[in-house]
Structure 1
Amino acid sequence: MSRVSATEFKNNIGAFSDAAMHEPVIITNHQRDRLVLMSAEEYRRLTNVPDTPPDDRKRLIRERANYHRDTIIELAQR
């Protein structure tokens, strides 16, 4: 897994986007992990979200948000 600063990522977005097709790229800010860039295929594999039409995706998002509703509310109140 590659680890790059946000500035490095910004200056070389094409190269890191290509790299993310093969392995996740961790983007740091002030030496802290902030984001992970990965291929859409890997994201779908990890989240079990099939390549679905937009209306179905909205339904899936609503279902998952409802499923995690209490956790989301608790985190929002922190």
Structure 2
Amino acid sequence: MVHAYILVQTEVGQAAAVAKEIGAIPGVVSAEDVTGPYDVIVRAEADGVDNLGRLVVAKVQGVPGITRTLTCPVVNLA
């Protein structure tokens, strides 16, 4: 299982709607509004890197109101 954080920038005033819609996507563990350079932080999981890529490109990036995403896969260094 691969886990990742997806940092999302949205159009002005769209963060809450984007977080709600992303939160309903299968594979998304959580989607929360935040302040700072990103508007929503998403925790996602998938069976492998390829499926994670499909989740981000085909599902998350298709949500209206998103202007940019940055996917940060979780690594286990210990």
Q: TM-score when scaled to structure 1? A: 0.27
Higher relative contact order (CA 8 A, sep 6+): 2
Structure 1 or 2: larger strand share?
A: 2
Q: TM-score when scaled to structure 2? A: 0.27
Bigger Rg, structure 1 or 2: 1
